[in-house]
Structure 1
Amino acid sequence: MTNIKRLRLRDIGFHPGAYEPGPLNAITDVMGVAVGHATVVEADCIRTGATAILPHDGNLFQDKVPAGFAVLNGFGKFAGSTQVEELGELETPVVLTNTLATGRAIEAVNRWTLAQPGNEKVVSLNAVVGETNDSRLNDIRAGRPTIDEIGAALAAAKTGAVEEGAVGAGTGTVAFGLKGGIGTSSRLVKAAGEVFTLGVLVQSNYGGRLTVCGRAYEAPAAHDRDGSIVIVIATDAPLSSRNLKRLAERAFGGLARTGAALSNGSGDYALAFSTAAAVRRTKARRAAIADYPDLPNDLISPLFEAAIEATEEAILNSLTMARTTHGFNAANGKPSTVEAISLERLRALSEH
């Protein structure tokens, strides 16, 4: 990877959307959310990793959070999604990794969750794992990241600034024929007389015709069609699982704004969860009839708009923060190089 300094979208001159970002402009602006990466780079052929997202710092299995899941085009897999759909709740961290590491990621989540104090008698859990295929730059058949390496991402999860670009689960990903990766963004939204925070993290690895805040970015390599993206949304707004599913669906509006092809070979997945303590599904609340606050349908539209904006910006941050990467194309067994998006061209584009 090259060592040229990379910049986030706003540092280049773009200011997408109408809502203000949080202090970090990251998913971790939602209080309590933590993110950890394990970046696995080895020799000339391993360019992969894992990214873990923790909704809060307690025992997530015991204090579950409401969640909603959405699929735009399902060419891929999202482990644990059927139980999220059925029960409307999340009981483990969310881990992102490469396609062939999905099983190892499930085992890493299982080990991490079973080891939490208070889970000594747990015999069933729903590990949640998203994936995209990084074989354009990574020897995906080599069995990396390992279970232990994925576990390192969970152990490294922290609040605060989030590293972006070619890191963690985005180490070997490609978007629009350019280097993709991990990106994040956030928005502050006023609703029901309160200010709520919404944050997004993406693993970008898809294609189309790249559009940056409504302006076409023309490049010969930027017109790939197939690929996948995983979008994770966190908010501190008190939402039901039904409205979290609706919120997850709005993320695809942000995906479309970037020029995504939404092709037959794309896997487009979004997961949304609420960290609000009042809607947390604690052991006591799950044992009796419980009252939960709920931001009503008539007041939720600003959050929908924020999800669109933050998803678009998170995707673009994943591109602007990624570095040109040299690796291994597993399909043809040859060395491979994927160029980073040109910050100079983007700066010129922002001035028009």
Structure 2
Amino acid sequence: MTRPVLSVLAGALALLLAAGSLDAQARARAIGLAPGVFTPGRHNAITDVPGVRVGHATIAEGDSLRTGVTAIVPHGGDLFRDRVPAALHVGNGFGKLLGVTQLRELGEIETPIVLTCTLCIWQAGDALAQWMLARPENANVRSINPVVGETNDGGLNTTRARPGIAAAVARALAVADSGPVAEGSVGAGHGTIMFGWKGGMGTASRRLPASLGGHTIGVLVQGNYGGVLQMAGVPIGQLLGRYAFQRNVAPGAGGGRPPGDAGAERGDGSCMIVIATDAPLLARNLERLGARAIMGLARTGSSASNGSGDYVLAFSSSPRVRRNPDATVSTNDELGNEAMSALFQAVTEATEEALYNALLMATPVSTRATTVRPLPRDSVQVLLRARGVGR
């Protein structure tokens, strides 16, 4: 970006800030951020994929507990005996992911997917296993592989305390629904931070035209990472004076962060991305799909720093490819490789938009020590409009 353009943008922003802020929650499309060429589904959410349900349970207690649980249920049937093909793609592996070895070995999952805080995954895994074992159809089951992902919300949450996680897992599963999905500072995103602003949960979807198969891709994200924020190519983080490595390249600027926040200064953090699709895919092509979600993450300004755990879980809910553990022969009607390109485009678009939604739908969260505020939406709109983007 040239210096004259930067000057125009900075001037427009200064006028806005002088006039005061009217920030409010808004999904990306409400301010004209609509990445890509494909159309969203009805809810523009992961729940646009038939059968997929999402539930949140938020933990906000006292002056320091700010965490939660989010559950993704792949379909409404017997998850243990009607397993969905699944795969994992790791962008950067600085994190914890429960159940990963069996997932990779068998290419399937047999439980809902749960997201929570870093030190909560073991309690969440036990609670998810107990939930599965308590179901009448699983009375004789002797092994469960719960899949639980995490990001570290320790900037806002007293993460070592870990209270109420088992109950939160049960609540999230109980309220899981197929309609619109709450976003922002809810569930597993209650205590998360993105680019120095409040982060959270976000979701988006894309539906391919009939000529490309008519399949739906849905993405859910738990955003808790850093870098140099950009939206539709506009360097929002730089223009708002908050971005990774700022103290190195602009030593006098300060970066808008408290002293000693070295992890944020390096762009550290994590992002969990869950992809659902009704396209009939097995593990190999689901892993390829997950790799493209990282491209959507990169479009927002992440470089997957050393201290970032960036994981993508992808599954197909299509009945055509489900697995019965007792079957001796598996016959599947899977899409061919040539059909994948449109799905790659769709998941890249949906991931980028889901991450924007996580930022734009977040609300302030306070603890005894600090308050983390969301990205100033009206300032972002001014900066986008100056580049001919948005409304």
Asked if TM exceeds 0.5, the reply is yes
Match of 2:240 in 1: 219
Match of 2:256 in 1: none
CA contact (8 A) 1:96 1:129 kept: yes
Match of 1:6 in 2: 25
**1:276-307 CA deviation, whole Å, 9 max, x = no partner?**
01111135xx4232321111001111101111
**CA distance in 1: counterparts of 2:133 and 2:319, whole angstroms:** 23
How many Å apart are 1:191 and its aligned residue?
Answer: 6.8
**CA distance in 2: counterparts of 1:5 and 1:256, whole angstroms:** 26
Counterpart selection for 1:117 from 136, 149, 160: 136
Pairing 1:175-194 to 2, within 5 Å after superposition:
175-190=194-209, 194=213
CA contact (8 A) 1:178 1:222 kept: no
Counterpart selection for 1:237 from 279, 287, 308: 279
Residues 222 and 340 of structure 1, relative CA distance in 2, 3 Å threshold: farther
How many Å apart are 1:149 and its aligned residue?
Answer: 1.8
> Quick one: which amino acid aligns to residue 85 of structure 1?
R
CA contact (8 A) 1:66 1:281 kept: yes
How many Å apart are 1:82 and its aligned residue?
Answer: 1.1
How many Å apart are 1:193 and its aligned residue?
Answer: 5.3
Larger radius of gyration: 2
> Quick one: which amino acid aligns to residue 317 of structure 2?
T
> Quick one: which amino acid aligns to residue 279 of structure 2?
A
Pairing 1:60-79 to 2, within 5 Å after superposition:
60-79=79-98
How many Å apart are 1:123 and its aligned residue?
Answer: 0.9
**CA distance in 1: counterparts of 2:23 and 2:174, whole angstroms:** 29
Match of 2:288 in 1: 246
CA contact (8 A) 1:48 1:145 kept: no
How many Å apart are 1:342 and its aligned residue?
Answer: 0.8
Counterpart selection for 1:268 from 310, 315, 321: 310
How many Å apart are 1:4 and its aligned residue?
Answer: 6.5
Residues 190 and 292 of structure 1, relative CA distance in 2, 3 Å threshold: farther
**Superposition CA RMSD, Å:** 1.5
Matched, 1:202 2:244: no
Match of 1:82 in 2: 101
How many Å apart are 1:49 and its aligned residue?
Answer: 0.2
How many Å apart are 1:73 and its aligned residue?
Answer: 0.7
**CA distance in 2: counterparts of 1:211 and 1:117, whole angstroms:** 49
**CA distance in 1: counterparts of 2:176 and 2:347, whole angstroms:** 23
Matched, 1:341 2:369: no
How many Å apart are 1:192 and its aligned residue?
Answer: 6.7
Residues 53 and 163 of structure 1, relative CA distance in 2, 3 Å threshold: same
Pairing 1:15-30 to 2, within 5 Å after superposition:
15-30=34-49
**CA distance in 1: counterparts of 2:182 and 2:99, whole angstroms:** 26
Match of 2:8 in 1: none
CA contact (8 A) 2:195 2:242 kept: yes
Counterpart selection for 2:151 from 132, 138, 154: 132
**CA distance in 2: counterparts of 1:288 and 1:327, whole angstroms:** 54
Q: Identify the range of structure 1 (165-174 vs 41-50) with the bigger mean alpha-carbon deviation.
A: 41-50
**1:285-336 CA deviation, whole Å, 9 max, x = no partner?**
x4232321111001111101111111111011000000121125xxxxxx11
CA contact (8 A) 1:26 1:185 kept: yes
Structure 2: segments with no counterpart, 5+ residues: 1-21, 245-263
**1:59-98 CA deviation, whole Å, 9 max, x = no partner?**
1111100001010110011111111111000100000000
The count of aligned residue pairs is 342
**CA distance in 2: counterparts of 1:350 and 1:197, whole angstroms:** 29
Match of 2:187 in 1: 168
Matched, 1:35 2:54: yes
**1:213-262 CA deviation, whole Å, 9 max, x = no partner?**
11111333443310000000000000111100111111100010000031
Matched, 1:298 2:338: yes
Query: The residue matched to 2:30 in structure 1 has which SS?
Result: helix
**CA distance in 1: counterparts of 2:66 and 2:384, whole angstroms:** 31
> Quick one: which amino acid aligns to residue 147 of structure 1?
A
Query: The residue matched to 1:300 in structure 2 has which SS?
Result: helix
* Ranges of 4+ aligned residues in structure 1 off by more than 6 Å: none
Instruction: Report sequence identity in percent.
Output: 51
- Larger helix fraction of residues: 2
Matched, 1:282 2:324: yes
CA contact (8 A) 1:191 1:299 kept: no
Query: The residue matched to 1:315 in structure 2 has which SS?
Result: helix
Query: The residue matched to 2:103 in structure 1 has which SS?
Result: helix
How many Å apart are 1:190 and its aligned residue?
Answer: 3.7
CA contact (8 A) 1:53 1:95 kept: yes
Q: Provide the TM-score with structure 2 as the length reference.
A: 0.85
CA contact (8 A) 1:68 1:88 kept: yes
Query: The residue matched to 1:142 in structure 2 has which SS?
Result: coil
> Quick one: which amino acid aligns to residue 363 of structure 2?
R
**1:147-190 CA deviation, whole Å, 9 max, x = no partner?**
11222111111110000000000000001001000000000124
**CA distance in 1: counterparts of 2:173 and 2:92, whole angstroms:** 28
